[in-house]
Chain A
């Protein structure tokens, strides 16, 4: 297969096979982890939380005050959210999340991050020229909008609560959930 010519693929196989031969890991336990993140953990979790906050003012308030507690009843798996903070976009505030030192990301809410989130271009630029980077993503912010960048360098994980679409009241619950994108919850997309 094509992968056989990739040095990283070969080296990964070398390490895995040697650890298996030493009896330190099994292929099955690695398979189980991969399946969990491939199939069960993804941005739908965060979307359900955001859609509920758009519908339910009390839930939204609880989410903004203590997101860790507010999402606990959802029982999401996936880790990386021992403390979650949700930051709200408004007409005058836009929030965007990054991890400049590695690639910290609220896995349990959004799944594993997209490649661009982990690449040097985004990590280097979004703290220094966020308006310009956001414009490249299609988010044009008026000068009076404050940009709040959250460089999640420690253990707290951040999720952006986007502004609700203007027709939110007309949408059914599942339609509303479908409107919530991963990028909006990172803060590189805006609906209004």
Chain B
């Protein structure tokens, strides 16, 4: 199976704290992958290493053959777990900004999603609620025709009704052939769409397999398995 991401011997430390230890990973292309683990397991650290926001202490990462840099960033559409847009900008400004920077950005797709969500494109971001800002960011990210979508806790800060919309937005807007890596600990909300699952615990991968294979092997849902594996 073609691999979109390769990690070899990846280790990241914050001072004495080892956030990730000797991660070896191949992400299959064209699948929706769940990066699952409890808080502090290293999910966000792994994502930041892939996006180039952190640099590893040891090991290497290749995204479609490119080390993290300008070339790999053209391929990745990244949704961080925080708001990264300037508050003074209007929604239409950030759309124009993305259009300027990303060749694969689809403006029509962005406005279509905004209309469906009834978000006013001339509204300033500072006037929007936290949840609406998150939706705007998701729209920006999903309006790209990227090779790899990385979504860090995309449903963490929104109400259950909005979660359905977000999951639907992801499913209906990612390009066939692209890979979607979703980090979350809200397994039940996304289990149905996952093709592949990675369990991360204490900075190490404890499980990486196809979602159906896991269900068959363990005879239970991924959500149930997650609750058993990560029981406090």
Answer yes or no: do A and B interact: no
List residues of B whose CB falls within 8 A of some A CB: none
